[in-house]
Each structure stands twice: as C-alpha cells, then as structure tokens.
Amino acid sequence: MQTNTTTAAPRQLPLWVIAVAFVLLVGFLGLIAWGLRRANEGPIRIGDRVPAFTLTTFDGQTIHTDDLKGKVIVLNFWASWCKPCEEEAAALEQSWQKYKAGGEVAFLGVDYVDTEPEALAYLDKFGITYPNGPDLRTQISQMFRIRGVPETYILDQEGKLHSVKIGPFASSAELEAIVDRLLE
C-alpha cells in the first residue's frame, strides 16, 4: 500500500531566542578566554614598564608610583613570618639611610599576606623607617607574580624594571651596587 504523507516542518525556536543564546554563548566563551589569558600572563620582565600602583602604608600615607617618576624605586616584598626576610632587613635599612638624603631613590616595603600587629613588631624590631604597607588584596604581588618572600624589584628612573632579586640580599653592598649603577 502506498500513501502519500505530508510531513509537518519541525518546530523552530524564534530567531531572537537563537540570537540571544548565541550571544550568551559567545560572551561566556569570551569570558573564559579572558580569564585564561590573564591566568597565563607571565611576570613583568626586565626592561618592561611596570604598571603604576598605589601603596597605602601602615601609618595611612598613600604613595602612587606615578609620583616617583625620575627616581629609582627599590620595591621589597617581605612578611613578618618569613625568616629569610630578617636576614636582609638590616641591610635594606642601611641602604635606605645612605640614599634617603639624596632623594634620588625611593624604598617601598610591601608586606605580603601578613597580620598588622606582627608586621609592625617586625618593623620595630629591625628599625625600618622607609615606607611600608600591606599588600591589600595581594594586588601588587599579583602584578609582579612573586613566587615568595623576600623578593626585591628595582625600577629605573623611567619606571622600567631593571633587576630582580629572588631571596635575601647578602649585604647592603649587593643592593647598592645595583642602585649606584642606575644613578651613574
């Protein structure tokens, strides 16, 4: 038996639903791509311009790195629970005392994931006088993608990364050799 049948066209979704679903899907994929790209961004390399950031010190002073243009910046990441940080604490302060009067070098201490009472006790213990502040929301350490503490980043007068020291400085002379080269 042969019969001719007419088949009903399959019901389709309205065009606007398809468009919205497509836009949402593309947006979601874009979001994932953006996140992955951010996650895979490498650390700031030597010679790269360091993005500007702000450090709020323990005494409430706000320091913008944009305002330090023309100065060499010694940026030291530390923590009160970090034993190797203690090894270089005195050397850093000694170097700061040397450059402080000249005004050509700025020292910034960034306290990495620490508690304020212990951090203040640490600063007091080693007599550190250059500006120090907490790394709020770990934004500064994330920008530099530090691997631990202590780490010291030295920026030249143009705000470009000049050198990186992973671990503590053995002496103030080691740090001063780098800074003096930039000041020449």
Contact residues for another protein, defined by CB under 8 A: 1-5, 31, 79-81, 113-115, 117-118, 134, 136-139, 142
User: Distances from the Cα of 94 to the Cαs of 80, 88, 105, 133, 172, in angstroms?
Assistant: 19, 10, 13, 19, 7
Beta pairing partners, 74: 107, 154
* Closest separation in Å from C-beta 77 to another protein: 12
Helix 83-100 vs helix 172-183: crossing angle, to nearest 10: 40
* Closest separation in Å from C-beta 82 to another protein: 9
Q: Do residues 133 and 55 lie in contact, with contact meaning Cβ atoms separated by under 8 Å? A: yes
Residues 6+ apart with CB under 8 A from 141: 77, 110, 112, 135
* Closest separation in Å from C-beta 178 to another protein: 27
Nearer to another protein, 47 or 117 (CB): 117
* Closest separation in Å from C-beta 177 to another protein: 31
Nearer to another protein, 3 or 103 (CB): 3
Nearer to another protein, 6 or 47 (CB): 6
Cα–Cα distance for residue pair 31/49, rounded to 1 Å: 27
Nearer to another protein, 11 or 45 (CB): 11
Cα–Cα distance for residue pair 146/83, rounded to 1 Å: 17
Cα–Cα distance for residue pair 161/125, rounded to 1 Å: 30
Nearer to another protein, 25 or 183 (CB): 25
* Closest separation in Å from C-beta 26 to another protein: 15
